[in-house]
Amino acid sequence: MTVQFDTGSALIYVLTDKCVNCPANLNKFDTKLSSTFKGQKTRITQYYGQGEVTGEIATDSMCLNN
């Protein structure tokens, strides 16, 4: 699973099955398969110099491996 870290904040961007306009060929995190995923039903937009990201705030447990 590929994630995008925002090194200027506490955000980690993960493409999930809840994405409406995402290309079908991209791997998506299936939130229904996680026993610890909790959607907050709060949508935010984060603005950057080269664009923006809109999504839902959620919490989950994750393990990082290199």
pLDDT of residue 34: 94
pLDDT at residue 10 greater than cutoff 90: no
Instruction: Sort 1 into a burial class: Cβ within 10 Å, 0-12 / 13-18 / 19+.
Output: exposed
pLDDT in tens, 16-61: 998 888 888 888 999 999 999 999 989 989 898 899 888 899 999 9
DSSP letters spanning 4-58: EE-TTSS-EEE-BTT-SSS-TTS--B-GGG-SS-EEEEEEEEEEETTEEEEEEEE
CA 29 to chain CA centroid, Å, is 8
What is the structure's pLDDT at 60?
92
Q: How confident is the model at residue 1 (pLDDT cuts 50, 70, 90)?
A: low
* Domains of the chain by start residue, with CATH: 3-59 (2.40.70.10)
Q: What is the pLDDT of residue 8?
A: 80
